[in-house]
Structure 1
Amino acid sequence: MSNQSTAVSAPRLSKRVLFAYGCGDFASNLTNTFMGSYLSVFYTDVVGLLPAVVSAIMIIARVWDAINDPMFGAIAERTNTKRGRFRPYIFYFTPFLALAAVLTFTTIGGSGAAIYAAITYIAYGMLYTVVNLSYGSLSTVMTTNPEDIAQLTSWRMMGTNLSSVILSAVSPIIMGAISGEAGNFNATSYTITILIYAVVSVPLFYFVYANCKETVKPVNAGKPIPISQSLKAVVTNKPLMLVFAMMLFAMFAMFGRLGVVLYYIMYVMGKPQYISLFMSLPSIMTVIGIFLTKNYVIKWGKKRVAAIGYIGSGITLIIIYFVSPTNLPVQLVLHAIYGFFCFTIPIPMSMIPESIDYQEDRIGVRTDGLAYAATSLSTKIGNAFGPAVALLIMGAFGYVGTAQQQTAEALASINFSANLMFGIFYLLALIPLAFYPLNAEKNAKIRASLDAKMAAKNAEQKG
């Protein structure tokens, strides 16, 4: 059964709507980026869990996500309410997501600490799927205008990176003030900091809900196609699967390094007092990089600009691996360069809507929720498996979270895990990128074809 889409004629998206949409990723990353940056250290150095246990928790959570994310994506795109398919989930589940974030950074101690950590982390991941997948899917149903779609991605990335800059700069200061010692944070400092971010995120998500409306709806909204057919449409969507693969490699590298760079700063560099500087500088440079390259994405094409970014990020991390960790000026320059080349972050995300259009034009089936679930899953896998693999390597070479001094082998493993390994994964993202088949010319033809089909369908219904 066909599941083509129609779009209600509407003016271009206003600045208020674009700003509101950007607030969604700002809100999402207040808790998620903090978790990606500090949860591993919290588990190993505060709760006292072994690196292998932390890795197991993260891997188990992502295995469940492989089931949970597509399942929720299918549920969401089959939802039919006056508020839309995705907006109700933002409205009802945002407070629970905030609560789960806070619970993740608490501990019961004792023998049940690992079980409690696993339960709260998995619960947070499930609620993050409900809210963030719904939020992300909005970009595919708010407009069919290519320029507005690009604007939504840009505003989303501004929200992402602005929150990353603020978190990277402010979190160590807040936690240091609470714990009374810079770079040596206690359990209370983690809990109170995440509580602040969680409370702030709730009204921001409601601002998204109030301003971002769904206008692109399936013609047969009351007659959804079978889930099996939707899943087949997604996995046979070549452009989408290539986006999944490139995001998997790139997010493994980006979030993996984000999850273990604290170990590199504290133990290998021996500069815990510079955590705020080394965490915020790359994020600031990423914002600058996105701003300076956004016009070249249109001029040169997404593939070429993304390739430049992946090569730059990968080579810079490999250089950091070989540079002396005590050479502070060189380290600062290299971390700034690395952050600049992360301007690639929004590019694969802007490929998702065009991949969905490609699928709809090819087989007449539109799967906004499942398509976004697939790519969201690649991000979550990278977010967990990156730090998990790094922690397994560190643990195998003798890293002990409660030790004041680490062995030479442990320090070498931290350097390898934080830099060389993830530099290689950035370069691996070039492989699926090379095979990505869509470009501006092809996308314009697909959009014209879909518009013609929509017009014919509407004329048939009126007749």
Structure 2
Amino acid sequence: MRDDLPLASPPLPASAKLAYGIGDFGFGLSWNMVGAFLLFFYTDVALLPAAAVGTLLLVSRLADAAIDPVIGIAVDRTRGRSGRARPWFKWGAVPFGLLCAATFWIPPGSEIIRLLWAVLTFGALGILFSVVNIPYGALLPMMTNRSNERLTLGSLRAAGTAISVIVATAATMPLVGALGGGDQARGFLIVGTLFGLLTTLTTLNLLRCPEQVHAPDQPHRQAVLPQVRAMIANRAWHTVFLFALLNFVRFGAVLAVTPFFAINVLGKPWMISILLPAVSGTLLIGSIIAPPYLKRMGMRRGNLIALLAALPLFALLPLTEGSTAAFLTLYLIGSVLLSITMTAIFAMAAEAIEYHEQLTGTRNEGLLSSGISLSTKIGMALGGALIAFGLASIGYVPGKGGAQVVSGLRWLYYAPIILCMIAQMAVIARYPAIRRATR
């Protein structure tokens, strides 16, 4: 490991920090509409079979295993006047916004035509998400190497994510109803177009973020395999990768199953617009309390304590289904605790890049960020696919319930939350101590 520590970068202006946080509001607005409602849209509006949808969600995201590192390496090799990350926002903002709308359009024709359209649009959306989101993740360590500012940027990003999911989950169905005039297909298309436009504008706004931390002099065309091997050998990186993967398996499963759970188990469809926004409303709270908490407790211990405190609260949830007040109380407190761990991911990802430089003398922000982006997408896909396959296995049919469906939905709702938290505790226990930049 290298003994020299980098000098601290210049302080960031407030406008740049705000632009960075708003960036994830835009990405999250469209991506979390997809995560929360695409399964429902495919099964209940486009009338596609749940098993086929589950396969689509899983295969499309696993294909990103080859695409994301390619984009990450391309970011590292980018040398433009506006930097390494920012040129990608210019190229990808408009196409990504257009695909957000196209994904929620149902072409006329047979089930095969609708399924092929879903395959094409969802696959392309994932690729374009990588084109803008991997540079976005790489941008944070390029903006600053100050640990306090990284925590601030990570918290602002978490706040942007939180607000976007609140808007996406709370407003989507009311907007679909209001703008669609009773036609859900039309309503989803209009809302997808609106959210896609906002995503494009906030992505272009990231051009205001400066790139102040530069990679040390190194060849632009390094061999790929040694870079990948070094990334995998970076204990901080693969710890964050697994921690984020498990986090987003849980998050993706909760987003996908909540509409079905609220309607068929709780018997309260109106709870959809409370439970889903609450996930991100608590993330907004977590983005405020996480920086001082994690600074005091440290990443490893702070995350472990938050997970240990949240676990019994979610384990008790099945006992409170008959009381809305008790259910929501446990749910909200547990979600606040989990929001600390989600906020920590962004700061840990930046730390993993600093740790990589200490180990190897190279930063490779694009490649390492592509891995974290990949964990997010695969996690969301695994969570969504798990629910889709689960719906097929319990014989779910839109508009029909039954004891088997209700029992199956309970397992699909609670098991991913609890199992993923236990696995996250085992993973974060391996997170290494990382030296900070000097002032």
TM class, shorter-chain normalised? over 0.9
Q: What is the Cα deviation at residue 216 of structure 1?
A: 2.1
Q: Which residue of 2 aligns with 1:155?
A: 156
The alpha-carbon distance between structure 1 residues 322 and 48, as it changes in their structure 2 partners (threshold 3 A), is: farther
Return the alpha-carbon distance in structure 2 between the equivalents of residues 259 and 312 of structure 1. Answer: 25
Return the alpha-carbon distance in structure 1 between the equivalents of residues 362 and 236 of structure 2. Answer: 15
Residue-by-residue CA offset, 1:47-100 (whole Å, 9 max, x unaligned): 111211111001111121100001110111111111111111101110000011
Conservation of the 8 A alpha-carbon contact between 1:398 and 1:407: no
Return the alpha-carbon distance in structure 2 between the equivalents of residues 6 and 242 of structure 1. Answer: 23
Return the alpha-carbon distance in structure 2 between the equivalents of residues 16 and 34 of structure 1. Answer: 27
Return the alpha-carbon distance in structure 2 between the equivalents of residues 21 and 355 of structure 1. Answer: 19
1:25 equivalenced with 2:24 (yes/no): yes
| One-letter identity of the residue aligned with 1:204 | T
Conservation of the 8 A alpha-carbon contact between 2:99 and 2:124: yes
Conservation of the 8 A alpha-carbon contact between 1:316 and 1:423: no
Q: 1:34-73 maps to which residues of 2 (within 5 A)?
A: 34-73=33-72
- Tell me, what secondary structure is at the counterpart of 1:141? helix
Q: What is the Cα deviation at residue 322 of structure 1?
A: 4.1
Identity in percent: 26
Return the alpha-carbon distance in structure 2 between the equivalents of residues 368 and 430 of structure 1. Answer: 26
TM-score, normalised to structure 1, is 0.89
- Tell me, what secondary structure is at the counterpart of 2:214? strand
Q: Which residue of 1 aligns with 2:251?
A: 254
The alpha-carbon distance between structure 1 residues 11 and 421, as it changes in their structure 2 partners (threshold 3 A), is: closer
Q: 1:26-425 maps to which residues of 2 (within 5 A)?
A: 26-108=25-107, 109-110=109-110, 111-179=112-180, 186-209=184-207, 211-220=208-217, 223-324=220-321, 326-343=322-339, 344-401=341-398, 404-425=399-420
Q: How large is the RMSD of aligned CA atoms in angstroms? A: 2.1
Conservation of the 8 A alpha-carbon contact between 1:233 and 1:365: no
Return the alpha-carbon distance in structure 2 between the equivalents of residues 335 and 118 of structure 1. Answer: 35
Q: What is the Cα deviation at residue 219 of structure 1?
A: 3.3
Return the alpha-carbon distance in structure 1 between the equivalents of residues 413 and 30 of structure 2. Answer: 22
- Tell me, what secondary structure is at the counterpart of 2:396? coil
Conservation of the 8 A alpha-carbon contact between 2:43 and 2:50: yes
Return the alpha-carbon distance in structure 2 between the equivalents of residues 5 and 133 of structure 1. Answer: 26
Residue-by-residue CA offset, 1:310-359 (whole Å, 9 max, x unaligned): 334443333223433x4322222233223212221111221122221222
1:443 equivalenced with 2:400 (yes/no): no
Q: Mean Cα displacement is larger for which, 314-323 or 373-382?
A: 314-323
| One-letter identity of the residue aligned with 2:240 | V
Conservation of the 8 A alpha-carbon contact between 1:47 and 1:113: yes
Return the alpha-carbon distance in structure 2 between the equivalents of residues 60 and 357 of structure 1. Answer: 33
Q: How many residues are treated as equivalent by the alignment?
A: 434
Dislocated runs of 4+, deviation >4 Å: 4-7
Return the alpha-carbon distance in structure 1 between the equivalents of residues 149 and 289 of structure 2. Answer: 19
The alpha-carbon distance between structure 1 residues 323 and 97, as it changes in their structure 2 partners (threshold 3 A), is: same
Structure 1: segments with no counterpart, 5+ residues: 452-463
| One-letter identity of the residue aligned with 2:435 | N
Conservation of the 8 A alpha-carbon contact between 2:216 and 2:362: no
- Tell me, what secondary structure is at the counterpart of 1:11? coil
